[in-house]
Amino acid sequence: MTVSPNPRLVVSDFVFGSADRQRLEAALAPGALLLVKDNADLPDVLRAHPDTDVLCTFRPPADTLALAPNLRWLAMPSAGADGAIRAGLLAAEAERPLLVTTANGVHAVPITEFVYGALLMLVRRWPDILTLQSERTWPDHQGWLRLGGRELYGSTLGVVGLGAIGRQIARIGRAFGMRVVATRRTVTPGATDPDLDALYPTDTLRALLAESDFVVLAVPATTTTRHLIGADELGAMKPTAMLVNIARGSVIDQPALIAALQNGTISGAALDVFEQEPLPADSPLWTLPNVLVSPHISGSTNRYSHRFTDLLLDNLTRYRAGQPLINLVDSARGY
């Protein structure tokens, strides 16, 4: 694809920090950055600015290509390309090709810290401890014994999806003294990895689940990963195992997960993403005692804007030079 030497107009509804906004403005021609306060206003802004050739948003409009006839690059601040997929911008039948990039890697540190925060809350019984604190209750001897926790040290961590996030989770697992195994979409026979104790292809997922004490889902949302974890996969896990999902809600068959948590097929779960968001108020997940629910915030961090701006500036340089962009989405794979 032929690109212009400098973007004519970059439209964004991403909330940049003031210093990062200044960095972007300095890297672009005067007036070439247009910030939109609300995603709902994006269609009107694109319609009024047909010269837009770069769009930065989590949620592109369904009629983006019609609204922005000169659009060449969609720079998504998200780890996945879900928004582009929903808008039909990666479909084979899309009326014209776009460069679509994601912010994959920007979230690796905060999501990894979230994962281990959640695991430590579960294994060290922090929800129970905080309940006792709120009630100003010091447990009796039996209650005190029940608060005894498990250790991450010496256990097996299974990471499903070894992208930027999955790899950071694996590295920190090693620091906790865990045995770390992972799946990756393509694995050559006998392949090893310096951050892992074992590397498996995705078609051996159930073997990984069976040996893991803790499982973290870190795969992109695609047609092949929809309900990757269902009743059979949950049944392959240890009854003492815990599951963490920081990927996408579609990766798990949610009714099957609820049943597995209710009947003791697995020990517990920490869930940051759900098939329907916001999670409906009547979902059993809200009240299950062995579940931590968080509102899709595992990637949130005070450094998000800075890291994303670093990536965007790097890609702007590449865009001008006609070089391959970082995190360019493969339309066939969906990530």
**SS3 call for 165:** helix
Question: 49, 125, 227, 296: which is the annotated catalytic residue?
Answer: 296
Question: 107, 167, 248, 307: which is the annotated catalytic residue?
Answer: 248
| Interatomic CA distance for residues 146 and 26, integer angstroms | 58
- Which residues, listed in sequence order, are joined to residue 216 by a DSSP beta bridge? 159, 244
Query: Which residues are within 8 A (CB) of 80 and not within 5 positions of it... i.e. 6 or more apart?
Result: 102, 104, 220, 221, 248, 335
**First CA to last CA across the chain, in angstroms?**
19
49 is catalytic: no
141 is catalytic: no
Spatial contact of 61 and 87, defined as CB atoms under 8 Å apart:
yes
Question: 86, 206, 277, 333: which is the annotated catalytic residue?
Answer: 277
Neighbouring CB atoms inside 10 A of 324's CB total: 9
| Interatomic CA distance for residues 176 and 154, integer angstroms | 8
303 is catalytic: no
Sign, CA torsion 103/321/88/183: negative
Query: Which residues are within 8 A (CB) of 20 and not within 5 positions of it... i.e. 6 or more apart?
Result: 305, 306, 308, 309
Closest to 308 measured CA to CA, from 10, 9, 21: 21
Catalytic residues, by residue number, are 248, 277, 296
